[in-house]
Amino acid sequence: MQSGPLKLGVNIDHVATVRQARRVAYPDVVQAARLCEAAGAQGITVHLREDRRHIQDADVRALRACIQTRLNLEMAVAPEIVRIACDVRPDEACLVPERRAELTTEGGLDVAGNRAGVGEAVRALAECGILVSLFIDPEISQLDAAHALGAPCVELHTGAYCDATGDAAARELERLIQAARHGHALGLQVNAGHGINLENVAGILQMPHLDTLNIGHSIVAHAVMVGLPEAVRAMLGAMAGYQGGRREAGI
Ligand code: PXP
């Protein structure tokens, strides 16, 4: 149930994507999480994918130890990952569909079509004291199924709205609005996420009853752009004392 101001959970997966491109220690996801929290984010989200393409097991444990706000672990309905979640105990776990070849999470979890599997994961996580959320498309049948399984929270997939333009965007936004209303009427906490950026967030804010927006790619992408001038100036500063030519010349 929504109470208080709309919260932001920052998904920092793509900080780890940059690190994993070189398999080195930086950029450090713990430092990134601290910076997000210091800037006012009310939560940190990471997705421990089965293929470990960005976030690693050790990241989740390190984040658990340092996060002062709330840690939300996105995860597949997979026994191995459920075991890790029950061990690490994030504040929240968001069950998402996962396919190895996908670039990012495509579509919501089919809760209605996999009640047994999703229900088992919901129960196991809830028994560990973790707030369970189900990442679903904005469909009434999926909300009803989430509620029937006893999940206290849903995250509505905003990707179709964020990717659409014109009339299609208006239709997708209406679906999100209706889904948020229905979720609230069922007593569910309603979160939303995927594809949200500075341009389309205004539409998202028309959705009622929202508790948290989980936003990743656009924030990390923006951070790269606003951070590049400082990073370049820092490197130029470090290079400024170069004396190699003078030394060679014996000056
Ligand atoms: N919510 C869920 C459930 C997701 O799977 C993702 C992507 O990892 C996000 C939110 C964040 O999406 P984006 O990176 O497009 O902001």
Q: Which long-range contacts (CB under 8 A, 24 or more apart) does 215-220 make?
A: 215/8, 215/9, 215/10, 215/11, 216/10, 216/11, 216/12, 216/13, 216/14, 216/45, 217/11, 217/14, 217/104, 219/10, 219/11, 220/12, 220/14, 220/15
Give the nearest ligand 1 atom to 220 CA.
14
Query: Do residues 201 and 166 make contact, with C-beta atoms less than 8 angstroms apart?
Result: no
Based on the number of CB atoms within 10 Å of its own CB, is 95 exposed (0-12), middle (13-18) or buried (19 or more)? Answer: buried
Q: Which of 105, 111, 134 to mutate to test the pocket of ligand 1 (most atoms within 8 A of CB)?
A: 105
Pocket of ligand 1 (CB under 6 A): 11, 13, 47, 74, 94, 96, 104-105, 135, 155, 193-196, 214-218
Tokens of 64: 């658990």
> Which is the catalytic residue, given 14, 47, 54, 157?
47
Nearest to residue 216, comparing CAs of 104, 81, 89, 86?
104
* CA 18 from centre of chain: 16
Query: What pLDDT, on a 0 to 100 scale, did the predictor assign at position 246?
Result: 81
Query: What pLDDT, on a 0 to 100 scale, did the predictor assign at position 206?
Result: 98
Query: What pLDDT, on a 0 to 100 scale, did the predictor assign at position 3?
Result: 60
| Average pLDDT score, the chain | 95
Question: How much distance in Å is there from the Cα of 13 to the middle of ligand 1?
Answer: 9
Query: What pLDDT, on a 0 to 100 scale, did the predictor assign at position 2?
Result: 54
Quote the pTM value. Answer: 0.95
Q: Which of 194, 210, 219, 220 to mutate to test the pocket of ligand 1 (most atoms within 8 A of CB)?
A: 194
Helix (DSSP H) and strand (DSSP E) numbers for the chain: 11, 8
Give the nearest ligand 1 atom to 162 CA.
15
pLDDT one-digit tens code per residue, 56-92 = 999 999 999 999 999 999 999 999 999 999 999 999 9
Nearest to residue 124, comparing CAs of 156, 155, 78?
78
pLDDT one-digit tens code per residue, 209-235 = 999 999 999 999 999 999 999 999 999
Query: What pLDDT, on a 0 to 100 scale, did the predictor assign at position 9?
Result: 98
Handedness of CA 56, 62, 66, 68 (dihedral sign): positive
**194 carries an active-site annotation:** yes
**209 carries an active-site annotation:** no
Question: How much distance in Å is there from the Cα of 10 to the middle of ligand 1?
Answer: 9
pLDDT one-digit tens code per residue, 109-162 = 999 999 999 999 999 999 999 999 999 999 999 999 999 999 999 999 999 999
Q: Is 150 helix (H, G, I), strand (E, B) or coil?
A: coil
Q: Which of 11, 49, 157 to mutate to test the pocket of ligand 1 (most atoms within 8 A of CB)?
A: 11
Question: How much distance in Å is there from the Cα of 237 to the middle of ligand 1?
Answer: 36
Nearest to residue 59, comparing CAs of 72, 48, 44?
48
Question: How much distance in Å is there from the Cα of 12 to the middle of ligand 1?
Answer: 10
Query: What pLDDT, on a 0 to 100 scale, did the predictor assign at position 251?
Result: 79
Rounded to whole angstroms, how far apart are CA atoms 174 and 108? 17
Q: How confident is the model at residue 26 (pLDDT cuts 50, 70, 90)?
A: very high
Phi, psi of 150 (to 5 degrees): 85, 15
pLDDT one-digit tens code per residue, 164-188 = 999 999 999 999 999 999 999 999 9
Question: Does the pLDDT at position 1 exceed 60?
Answer: no
